[in-house]
């Protein structure tokens, strides 16, 4: 994931799933079955309190994390040698696996917000679910 982001100079990652969903069994994605929650997407980023994530010669540090409604926004710093790039991840937490968002206007607003973030000097947005 991080190599792809670096290689294409992406500055925005869009995650269209929760990390965990209560009460759902995910066949290939279950990593932790604690407290009735199953992990639907591997957490590929470091926590604010945790150590950095290193992937080859890339280092990823979480700089901030905020939540607003059904949207979680994380700011990362990717480093390779002396070069640094900021990357922002938008996690839409209201879209359940095998479901649809409850409010289509919320999703349309989200898409418009992402469109406003397009920077012709940077690479494309990376969008994923699982």
**129 belongs to the catalytic site:** yes
Helix (H, G, I), strand (E, B) or coil at 49: coil
**Rounded Cα–Cα distance for residues 60 and 13 (Å):** 14
* First-to-final CA distance of the chain: 12
Q: Give the containing element (helix H, strand E) for 106.
A: helix 104-116
Task: Please pick, among 29, 41, 122, 129, the residue that the annotation labels catalytic.
Answer: 129
- Which residues carry out catalysis? 129
């Amino acid at each position: 994931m991080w190599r792809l982001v670096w290689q294409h100079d992406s500055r925005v990652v869009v995650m269209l799933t929760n990390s965990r969903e209560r009460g759902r069994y995910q066949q290939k994605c279950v990593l932790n079955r604690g407290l009735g929650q199953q992990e639907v997407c591997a957490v590929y980023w470091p926590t604010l309190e945790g150590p950095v994530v290193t992937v080859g010669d890339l280092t990823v540090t979480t700089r901030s994390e905020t939540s607003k409604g059904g949207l979680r926004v994380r700011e990362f710093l990717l480093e390779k040698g002396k070069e640094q790039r900021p990357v922002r991840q938008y996690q839409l937490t209201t879209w359940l696996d095998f479901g649809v968002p409850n409010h289509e206007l919320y999703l349309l607003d989200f898409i418009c917000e992402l469109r406003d973030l397009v920077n012709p000097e940077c690479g494309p947005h990376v969008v994923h679910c699982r």
